[in-house]
Structure 1
Amino acid sequence: MACRAVALQLPVAAAFAGPSAAYLHGVEHAASFADKVHVLVPAPAGLRSQPGLQVHTMSEEPWLQGIGTGTLRRTDPARAAWESAVWLEPTRAIAIIDTLLGRGLTTRAALAQFAALHDGRPGIRRASWLFDLAEPAAQSPAESQLRIRLVLAGLPRPVVQHPVQVSGGLILHPDLAWPAVRVAVEYDGHWHSDREQLHRDRQRLNRLVGAGWLVLHVTSRRLHQDFPGIVREVRAALLDRGWHR
């Protein structure tokens, strides 16, 4: 593992941080072997960034606040969420924060407390914004990225896993929803190769449509190759259903 290899070269005071810490807490998508390893060191440590290693220094707060002990020292989940929010691009950071919350590794209260303790520090506005947008109910990193990209495109914030009662009293939960206008977006990142899953999803779609909902589908390919088209379609659906900008 990259973190273990880097750990052998770090000074004793260093700790893995941000996405690297989140990875060590079990958020697998937070980092890959192609990503830089993020470490936090006290300002006098003298360690510098180099290929594959991003060094961050901290000197304005108690050094050990939120840092664990052991062979692979890492910042705790709340601090890792803060660091990810400040250091990473928002679409990547939000997926990490959603997962940390969804797995119970941290809480909204802990994030709010950490933000309050760092009021006035660089990055506070973006971190607080991302903490507010975070959704523990998000089902995948791609869904998290889709949600925040729609918000950044100027669309209203959707509700994640909104309960919708359909025929027979069944409760369905579309991935993203705008309940006031009954528009939903489903992210289809995995079912297309599974016939049984495709059957269930089509049945689910029919029930949502029968309950008066307009349902749009977003595939992984379109998310990465035609996002402007997705924005146009969602905006048109919202406007057609009565949304006023």
Structure 2
Amino acid sequence: MTRIPRRPAELAGKVFYAREAVHRGLLTKNALRSSAWQQLFHNVYADSRLEISHRTRCHAAASWLFPPGCAIAGRSAVALLGGPQPRPAEPVEVLVEPTARFGPVAGLRIHVATWREGEVWRVDGMPVTSPTRTCWDLAYWLDLVEAVAHVDALLHSGAARMEELMAYLRRRKGERGARRLAQVLDLVDGGAESLPESRLRVRLVEAGAPRPVTQHVIERHGRFVARVDLAWPAFKVAVEYDGLWHHDPEQFHRDRRRLNQILGEEWIVLHVTSRRLAEDFDGILTELRTALTSRRPRT
């Protein structure tokens, strides 16, 4: 007979600080090793039945680990500000002021730097870098493609505004990191609807392709036909990033019917999968260049 692990009612379905639970006599150190619990960080555990998201891990870190002078930052801040969440197991990114002397901690990616007044907000009780400060850090910490993709996400969600980012850049002109943010802002597009779509767009532009229109609407006689991820309307060329909807047969059917409508409008539509983006970018770029050079600009 399989033994059902013991869960005190006070801890069932919760994230908790293990040292406190042991001190209160709710658990022993040995009991923490049972299948009833999962470890999130050193001394921070959760009921194993809980589905742990990156947001859960952010909340756990902020609640049980952070001393004063710490804030959730980078891609973790993007998730808390309304953007896409990293995978649950990815490290929580933390901005730490030099005086805090915090870290290293397994499961956290710690960046040491000062911040200014107003650059840390409270989000669901957690200290989180503001959208403008988050974009500054993303530009400084990440490569260009990843930084643009995540700033795109903040712009798309409405958490960040382009005019505020440009004003922030002007205030920090001449500082180390300002040039990186300027490069990112030159490439961002809040119309992008996913990180892979942004990554594809930036890589194409950086490789010399003309800058596309994001989420372009194709019409026939003033009526909606389709919306495509990336488009060069003057050439009637479009690129579609095929994502996880492949697992939905109905969505696959709808998108393929939409593709037929687009082809009826004499558009060239190139499809890019995640595998091709990872393994065959040169092939994608060649196909796009061929499509563009085969067309005269159309009005």
* Corresponding residue number in structure 2 for 1:46: 101
Distance 1:193 1:15 in 2: 37
CA distance in 2, matches of 1:54, 1:232: 38
Tell me the CA shift for residue 89 of structure 1. Answer: 2.2
Q: 5 Å matches for 1:61-210? A: 63-69=116-122, 71-166=125-220, 169-210=223-264
Higher fraction of helix: 1
- 2:68 is equivalent to residue 15 of structure 1: no
Gaps of 5+ in 1: none
CA distance in 2 between counterparts of 1:116 and 1:49 reads 34
Of 219-228 and 175-184, more deviation after overlay is shown by 219-228
Higher strand content, 1 or 2? 2
What do residues 89-143 of structure 1 show as CA deviations (whole Å, max 9, x unaligned)?
Answer: 2332222212211111121111111211221122222222222322222122211
Amino acid at match of 1:32: R
Unaligned runs of 5+ in 2: 1-55
Residue by residue over 1:55-104, the C-alpha shift from the partner in whole angstroms, topping out at 9 and shown as x without a partner, is 33334xx6333112474211112211221122112332222212211111
SS in 2 for 1:38: strand
Does residue 35 of the first structure (1) align with residue 90 of the second (2)? yes
Pick the structure with greater CA Rg: 2
Amino acid at match of 2:262: L
Native 8 Å contact 1:182 1:213 kept in 2: yes
Change (3 A) 1:82 1:165: same
Seen in structure 2, the aligned counterparts of structure 1 residues 4 and 235 have a Cα distance that, compared at 3 Å, is: same
Q: Point out which structure has higher relative CO (alpha carbons under 8 A, 6+ apart).
A: 1
Residues of 2 paired with 1:157 and 1:138: CA distance? 13
Deviation at 1:42, TM superposition (A): 2.6
Q: CA RMSD in A?
A: 2.3
Counterpart amino acid of residue 6 in structure 1: A
Q: Percent identity?
A: 43
Q: TM-score, normalised by structure 1?
A: 0.86
The alignment covers a number of residue pairs equal to 240
